[in-house]
């Protein structure tokens, strides 16, 4: 199982050393649900997303009240949050490279900015856009968006709050992304279609985090 990320590049010298010592590289997530390691972790099953609970992180589901459909999964903490969404992708391809310009154009249309930078998961977008506060008035909301290509899926993670404005100190939040598993399913879906998230019974509906 291969994921596109900056750290995947290994020199031939490193490979030779690993072979000589008998060491093998341990792949980390995000995982495909069909290839989850036997780690004994009980994850929250949300259909297309399997989320590992973490101390200090609250799991929230952003629901469209009109349709009742879950739009995204949010893990929130005292200093920030991650919004997770999964999409159908081609079997072979780089959907993240294709949609980055679309996200940047959308930010520009909304009067914001989107700048590319290289991070732990490869090329990511650092964004700023004006939003309306619930109590009135406008504010600038920073975010950092990463995309990870998987087998027939794309996982998009949007960092909000401190992990968005301080990426060099966001290792713990990025580690949370590596624990996610994506269940693509066998059904045919258009490329870019959001994978369905199932709202568990007895779930409490809460609003999305504010900047």
| 82-85 CB contacts, 8 Å cutoff, 24+ apart | 82/157, 82/158, 82/159, 82/160, 82/163, 82/173, 82/176, 82/177, 83/157, 83/158, 83/160, 83/208, 84/49, 84/51, 84/155, 84/156, 84/157, 84/177, 84/180, 85/155, 85/156, 85/158, 85/194
Alpha-carbon span 164 to 161, nearest angstrom? 5
163 vs 68, more confident: 163
Cβ neighbours of 25 (radius 10 Å): 11
pLDDT tens across 80-129, in order? 999 999 999 998 889 999 999 999 999 999 999 999 999 999 999 999 99
Structure tokens at 177: 């992304």
- In this predicted structure, the answer to whether residue 141 has a pLDDT above a threshold of 60 is yes
pLDDT tens across 54-68, in order? 999 999 999 888 888
Question: Which domains occur in the chain, in start order?
Answer: 6-182 (3.40.1000)
pLDDT tens across 23-33, in order? 434 448 899 99
pLDDT, residue 58, reads 94
- In this predicted structure, the answer to whether residue 146 has a pLDDT above a threshold of 50 is yes
Alpha-carbon span 51 to 86, nearest angstrom? 12
14 vs 173, more confident: 173
pLDDT, residue 34, reads 92
> What's the pLDDT band for 202 if we cut at 50, 70, 90?
low
User: Across 14-23, 74-83, 132-141, which has the greatest mean pLDDT?
Assistant: 74-83
- In this predicted structure, the answer to whether residue 177 has a pLDDT above a threshold of 60 is yes
| Lookup result for tokens 């940047």 | 104
What does pLDDT average to over the chain?
84
For the segment 63-84, the average pLDDT, to the nearest whole number, is 91
Q: Where are the alpha helices (DSSP H) in the chain?
A: 12-21, 95-109, 162-165, 171-178
Alpha-carbon span 2 to 166, nearest angstrom? 28
12 vs 1, more confident: 12
- Residues 77 and 57: beta-carbon distance below 8 Å: yes
């Amino acid at each position: 199982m291969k994921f596109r990320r900056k750290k995947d590049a290994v020199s031939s010298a490193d490979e030779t050393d690993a072979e000589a010592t008998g060491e093998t590289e341990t792949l980390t997530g995000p995982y495909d649900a069909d290839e989850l390691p036997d780690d004994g972790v009980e994850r929250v099953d949300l259909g297309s997303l399997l989320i590992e609970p973490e101390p200090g992180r609250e799991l929230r589901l952003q629901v469209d009240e009109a349709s009742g459909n879950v739009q995204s999964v949010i893990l929130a903490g005292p200093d920030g949050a991650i919004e997770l969404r999964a999409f159908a992708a081609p079997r072979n391809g780089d959907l993240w490279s294709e949609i980055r310009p679309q996200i940047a154009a959308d930010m520009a249309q909304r009067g914001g900015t989107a700048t590319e930078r290289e991070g732990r998961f490869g090329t990511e977008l650092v964004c700023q856009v004006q939003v309306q506060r619930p109590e009135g008035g406008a504010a600038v909301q920073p975010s950092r968006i990463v995309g990870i290509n998987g087998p027939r899926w794309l996982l998009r993670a949007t960092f909000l709050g401190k992990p968005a404005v301080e990426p060099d100190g966001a290792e713990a939040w990025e580690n949370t992304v590596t624990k996610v598993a994506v269940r693509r399913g066998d059904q045919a879906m258009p490329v870019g279609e959001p994978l369905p998230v199932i709202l568990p019974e007895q779930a409490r509906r809460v609003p999305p985090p504010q900047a």
